[in-house]
């Protein structure tokens, strides 16, 4: 498995699993790329969708990761927060509030 420049920004546990199980890690990377190329959704919107899914499953690390990636792809903080606020009627205020606090952690650094 090659070390790409992006790898330094990936969650440590993900990188560790990819190193320990190289074939599995390769499949994960390839799957992600194939899924991105499979449809018309642009990269920024894709990250906002994955951000919303991450908030739904209350994954703090994934919220950090997808919010950061969305920002790198040109999303504004307002777009990040709006993507989360839109979830209120679906996942409830406490879950949205938690996700907002995780994005606050990222943006306050």
What does each of the 109 residues of the chain score in pLDDT, given as a tens digit? 333 434 457 778 888 999 999 999 899 889 988 998 999 999 999 999 999 999 999 999 999 999 999 999 999 999 999 999 999 999 999 999 999 999 999 999 6
In the DSSP assignment, the letter for residue 13 is: H
Q: Rounded to whole angstroms, how far apart are CA atoms 63 and 89?
A: 19
DSSP conformation letters of 30-95: HHHHHHHHTSS--HHHHHHHHHHHHHHTT-HHHHHHHHHHHHHTT--HHHHHHHHHTTHHHH-HHH
Q: 106 is written with which tokens?
A: 């990222």
Class for domain 43-108, per CATH? mainly alpha
The residues spanned by each domain of the chain are 6-37, 43-108
Q: What pLDDT does 56 receive? A: 97
- Global pTM value: 0.82
Element (H, E) at 104: helix 93-108
| Cβ-based neighbour number of residue 80 at 10 Å | 24
């Amino acid at each position: 498995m090659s070390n790409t420049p992006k790898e330094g920004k990936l969650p440590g546990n993900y990188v560790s699993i990819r190193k320990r199980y190289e074939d599995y890690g390769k499949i994960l990377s390839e799957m992600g790329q194939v899924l991105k190329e499979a449809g018309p959704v642009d990269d920024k919107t894709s990250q906002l969708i994955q951000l919303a899914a991450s908030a739904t499953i209350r994954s703090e690390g994934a919220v950090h990761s997808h919010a950061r990636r969305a920002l790198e792809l040109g999303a504004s903080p307002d777009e990040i927060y709006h993507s989360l606020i839109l979830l209120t009627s679906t996942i409830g205020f406490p879950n949205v509030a938690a996700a907002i606090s995780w994005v606050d952690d990222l943006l306050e650094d």
